[in-house]
Structure 1
Amino acid sequence: MKKLINDPADVVSESLRGIAAAHPELRVDHRHKIVVRGDAPVEGKVGLVSGGGSGHEPLHGGFVGLGMLDAACAGEVFTSPVPEQISAATTAVDGGAGVLHIVKNYTGDVMNFEMAAEFAAAETGSEIVSVVTNDDVAVQDSTYTAGRRGVGVTVLLEKIAGAAAEQGRNLAEVAEVARRVNARGRSMGMALTSCTVPAVGRPTFALSDTEMEIGIGIHGEPGRRRLPLASAREIAHLLVDPILADLDFTGRDGVIAFVNGMGGTPLLELYLMYNEVVTILDDAGVRVARSLVGPYITSLDMAGCSVTLLALDDDLLGLWDAPVRTPALRWGI
């Protein structure tokens, strides 16, 4: 294993120290391992909290800032944050208008966010609402979930719900926007290689040089099937066709097309894949209104990609275009 680390046990805490040094506009609570927007809590604004296991950077800490998240909780690598972390983050961003928890559908995440919400509400009397993302069409149930996994739509939801909160919408309205995004988005991923968890020191699963895994999860969970390595064009069909079969994306308002890198795939290849994806969408009568290409929800050093489509309406498009200023996503400012 070749990694830019010191002690594997200190990877998350030392990475958070790097975030604090690189982004002084943010606050990092090193005791609870949470990243908080520098001006939080913002009085009268709904606070947005998300989080999950580390190893998916820039998700979630890289999306803290104006127009997106107010706080992110960093669990250990591929391990849910604990209720104490989530509760501390919730309290830190509560500006009196309630707090929205954005939770990926993994059993540990769902359970710990539920416990934290109960604890924080009892302590502060704040209203807390949770929205769970479950956009992965690859499997119905998987190693860590009951139901579909929450993957690429999480990034789009954090941006769009964050913009709604920034506009001053109330908690019920922001939660409705978040649920609408989740309902209108679908994702599918694949891997060319496994990832290597620093504390383990070896690949999570074995793939030969002539194999690929279709439908993987962001923790290296197995997917739909293992197949012989194919061309980018064939892989694009394997990812996009199941998404189009699951939901009608041919509406007049178009879609956000998001091609995400899993951590070990260069942008050269991701843009090549994006070209294949939009060709398929054009042939299927799906209009691309906005795009996002890059490593935004990763799996450590895994080579591979995922595709996410989000069916837009006028409101969601306006919220997507609204200003955002975070370490990993920034425009309009």
Structure 2
Amino acid sequence: MKKIINNPDNVVEEMLNGMVVSQPQYLKRLEGFDVVVRADKKNSKVALVSGGGSGHEPSHGGFVGRGMLDAAVAGAVFTSPTPDQIYEAIKAVDTGKGVLLIIKNYSGDVMNFEMAAEMAAADGIEVEKVITNDDVAVENSTWTTGRRGIAGTVLVHKIAGAKAESGAALADVKKAAEKVIANERSMGMAIEPCTVPAAGKPSFTLADNEMEIGIGIHGEPGTHRESLKTADEIAQQLVDKILAENIYGTGDEVAVLVNGLGATPLMELYIVSAKVQAILKEKGLKMVKTYIGNYMTSLEMAGCSVTLLKLDNELKELLFAPADTPALVQF
């Protein structure tokens, strides 16, 4: 195993310290907790809290800032944060307008975020939650009951964040988030595994000529393995599975997210994106916005996922609303 780290046991601590000292205009760390919050806390708005296991960077801390999250909670690598950490994040960002928790559908995350919500409610803080489940690959998996939440979670952050930034009430922010969840679907694949620092060995193995279709962001099994295909064939498989959901129709406006899993060059993501665009155009869908890059990674896994979000006028307006976070900053 080759990694640019100091001690496998300290990777989350050192990563968070690096984030806040490198980008103090965006982030502060809650002392004693694995939580980053907005450096410019905005009062009198609904606050958004998300998080999960580390190893998915720039998710989730990279999306803390104006127009997106108010706090992100970092668990150990691929491990849910504990309820006390989430509880401290809720308390830190609450302004009296309520807090929305955005939770990926993994059993540990759901349980721990719900426990933290109960703790905060006992303090008189109004807390609501949404659970993302955009992955169409498998119905149940290693760590979930129901579909997994993967890269589409970032679009929930963006749209719910814009709604909250506008001054909307908690119920309306939750409704916007739920609309995204209802109208987005994702599918991923991998050609190389990742290595959790503390484990010291790859989380799974693939032969040189193999790829896994439908893999999860923690290396959970997908639908099947098969021989490595071309970028166009991969894009076709992923998009076909998404379109089979039958929620997208001719003339619909959509946003597209072509997400890298950590080690995939942008060159390859652009090649996949070109085919995705061609398929959607052929199907009569109108691409309004395309995101390409690393948004929800899996350490150094090589692979990608595709997310489609069907837009209405409200979602389109919120998608294009201003946002400024470490992961979105332009040179």
Structure-2 change in CA distance of 1:251 and 1:73 (3 Å): farther
Q: 1:109 — aligned with what? A: 109
Runs of 4+ in 1 over 6 A off after TM superposition: none
Deviation for aligned residue 1:248: 2.6
Deviation for aligned residue 1:103: 0.1
Unmatched 5+ residue regions in structure 1?
A: none
One-letter code aligned to 1:57: E
Give the Cα–Cα distance (whole angstroms) in 2 for the partners of residues 130 and 170 of structure 1. 14
Give the Cα–Cα distance (whole angstroms) in 2 for the partners of residues 169 and 182 of structure 1. 19
User: Where do residues 183-332 of structure 1 align in structure 2 (5 Å cutoff)?
Assistant: 183-250=182-249, 252-330=251-329
Identity %: 59
- Contact kept, 8 Å, 1:57 with 1:297, in 2: the verdict is yes
Q: 2:83 — aligned with what? A: 83
Give the Cα–Cα distance (whole angstroms) in 1 for the partners of residues 137 and 82 of structure 2. 27
State the secondary structure of the residue aligned to 1:268.
helix
Deviation for aligned residue 1:177: 0.1
Q: 1:58 — aligned with what? A: 58
Give the Cα–Cα distance (whole angstroms) in 2 for the partners of residues 27 and 252 of structure 1. 44
Q: 1:7 — aligned with what? A: 7
* TM-superposition CA deviations, 1:74-109 (whole Å, max 9, x none): 000000000011000000110110000000000000
Aligned length: 329
Give the Cα–Cα distance (whole angstroms) in 2 for the partners of residues 212 and 225 of structure 1. 9
Per the normalisation by structure 1, the TM-score is 0.97
Give the Cα–Cα distance (whole angstroms) in 1 for the partners of residues 305 and 252 of structure 2. 23
Deviation for aligned residue 1:166: 0.3
Give the Cα–Cα distance (whole angstroms) in 2 for the partners of residues 279 and 250 of structure 1. 16
Give the Cα–Cα distance (whole angstroms) in 2 for the partners of residues 149 and 14 of structure 1. 28
CA RMSD of aligned residues (A): 0.9
State the secondary structure of the residue aligned to 1:241.
helix
One-letter code aligned to 1:317: K
Structure-2 change in CA distance of 1:251 and 1:173 (3 Å): farther
One-letter code aligned to 2:120: A
Unmatched 5+ residue regions in structure 2?
A: none
Deviation for aligned residue 1:126: 1.1
- Contact kept, 8 Å, 1:250 with 1:287, in 2: the verdict is no
* TM-superposition CA deviations, 1:263-310 (whole Å, max 9, x none): 010101101110011111111111111110001100000000000000
Structure-2 change in CA distance of 1:78 and 1:277 (3 Å): same
* TM-superposition CA deviations, 1:212-269 (whole Å, max 9, x none): 0000000000000000000011101110001001133226451001100000101011
State the secondary structure of the residue aligned to 1:175.
helix
Per the normalisation by structure 2, the TM-score is 0.98
Q: 1:37 — aligned with what? A: 38
Give the Cα–Cα distance (whole angstroms) in 2 for the partners of residues 259 and 223 of structure 1. 18
State the secondary structure of the residue aligned to 2:197.
coil
User: Where do residues 149-164 of structure 1 align in structure 2 (5 Å cutoff)?
Assistant: 149-164=148-163
One-letter code aligned to 1:232: A
- Contact kept, 8 Å, 1:16 with 1:30, in 2: the verdict is no
Give the Cα–Cα distance (whole angstroms) in 2 for the partners of residues 159 and 329 of structure 1. 11
Deviation for aligned residue 1:73: 0.1
